[in-house]
Amino acid sequence: MEPDLSQLVVMRMDADPPTQHSTEVAGGHGELMVLRIDDRLAWARGENVLIIAGEPGKRMFLQAAYVAPSGKFHLLRKSRTWRPFDARRDERYATHFQARARVEGAAWRAAGTVVDISAGGVAIELAAEPPSSHLTVDILAGGYRAELEIEVLSRSDTAAGAVLHCRFEAMTPARTAFVRSVIADLEDQATANAA
């Protein structure tokens, strides 16, 4: 299924924090795509970008890598096919990502591991019990990094501490894009392992 390219946004995933820019397709062939972006940007060759197309509720996304500029025109190499962005898929994927959790306005901090992730939330194993059910968690996954706000819904005790079962809160477009990218990578890994 091809997306509606009349509404297009490109997100620079390697920027800290990720940035979002309106764009339009100026051309392309095969795995290459040329975008016109009026913002003055300093891009880096190989930079990871996420292209989001379509209207809310029917959006699709495409992962790509930056190749080269030519004035307002930017050449990108597609690294995936178009995928649904707004689809409600809450299948959980087992992971082993590094995470750091903190409580806003408090001194409490803890290192942990994301043991599974879905479009709606994560399960994080922490050695220390948080003093609040509302946390900010910094996740490093597959070369991407994001700070996400979560709410702890329940917990399971383990030998190493506890697994906190959480849902995402205050999801911005950049945070949603991060989660979708991580899930897309995990889906690809699951497909490759099944083959």
From the number of C-beta atoms within 10 Å of its C-beta (0-12, 13-18, 19+), residue 77 rates as middle
Judge whether 65 and 18 are in contact, CB under 8 Å.
no
- Give the side-chain half-sphere CA count within 13 A for 185: 16
In this prediction, residue 6 carries a pLDDT of 80
Q: What is the pTM of this model?
A: 0.57
pLDDT score of 56: 62
Distance CA 105, CA 195 (A): 47
Taking all residues of the chain, what is their mean pLDDT, rounded to a whole number?
Answer: 84
Comparison of pLDDT for 89 and 172, the residue scoring more = 172
SS3 112: strand
Mean pLDDT across the stretch 139-152? 88
Structurally, at CATH architecture level, domain 93-194 sits in Beta Barrel (2.40)
Question: Pick from 23, 163, 154, 7: which is nearest to 85 by CA?
Answer: 7
Pick the more confident residue, 2 or 30: 30
**pLDDT surpasses 50 at 179:** yes
